[in-house]
Homo-oligomer: A and B are copies of this chain.
């Protein structure tokens, strides 16, 4: 029995809690004081329930794409997505949902042709810099819990396309997408999409309900048959749900000392498993801690 346990331990890729060594990122998150956590406003939480019961929760980013996020809120409140499905799942790229080939009219409050909210001004953002080089932008770091890329001199900033990032499907320029068709990144960070598409948020819970879906066999991962479409029961703002039913989330304040330590250790793992600290980390590998509020 002992040898069986040993063998089971031997196949663990990473040990969960090394003893008497430097703290791991989860250790630092667990030790962060309550004051280091910030609650996501209920009005910025989009709750998508699949017909099979799987729940995906998205934090919206009105500070970066106010018109598109306004549209998404109007679409949710106007029950636009009744009958929506996940109709495209492309491996190592995105899962996309909405009404697909629909010509349903937009509900009240929707701006049909939003401006190109691909960047916003950098000035005025209090940023925790990543501190390591990035191939896509002169600066990267974190603002209010979000991974961002920026150019201070040219005065632009954008939400980075990381795993879980949610963006707006669009046609060719100058179309920017209205917000009815959304995608979530389910693969390696496609940073080449930064600044060419409107990012409206990120999945904070339940992304496995998207990432584990069968991949579509058609070009770009579209499902071939409508029978493969994954039905969505409803998409609501948490603020429109009965208070007792609302999910709530909090994220580690990226200006906190806890986050600074977390970032440092993400870049310099040095416990029993990580025998060689990397001395650096990629923006999208930092993964700002987000947790459900109980």
Which residues from chain A sit less than 8 Å from chain B, CB to CB? 3-4, 7-16, 18, 88-89, 91-92, 94, 96, 98, 100-103, 118, 132-136, 162-164, 169-173, 175, 177, 181, 183, 187-192, 194-197, 207-208, 211-215, 219-220, 266-267, 269, 272-276, 278-282, 284-285
Q: How far is the CA of A92 from the CA of B280 in the complex (A)?
A: 20
Q: How far is the CA of A15 from the CA of B8 in the complex (A)?
A: 47
B278 touches A191 (CB 8 A): yes
A220 touches B13 (CB 8 A): yes
Q: How far is the CA of A9 from the CA of B276 in the complex (A)?
A: 48
A215 touches B215 (CB 8 A): no
Closest to A130 in B: B135
A sample of 18 inter-chain contacts (CB < 8 A) reads A7-B103, A13-B197, A13-B220, A91-B208, A132-B135, A133-B133, A133-B134, A134-B280, A136-B281, A163-B188, A189-B285, A191-B285, A192-B285, A195-B276, A196-B276, A211-B211, A211-B215, A212-B212
Interface residue SS majority, chain A? loop
A7 touches B282 (CB 8 A): no
User: Which B residues lie within 8 Å of A285 (CB)?
Assistant: 188-192
User: Which B residues lie within 8 Å of A267 (CB)?
Assistant: 135
User: Which B residues lie within 8 Å of A172 (CB)?
Assistant: 15, 18, 272-273
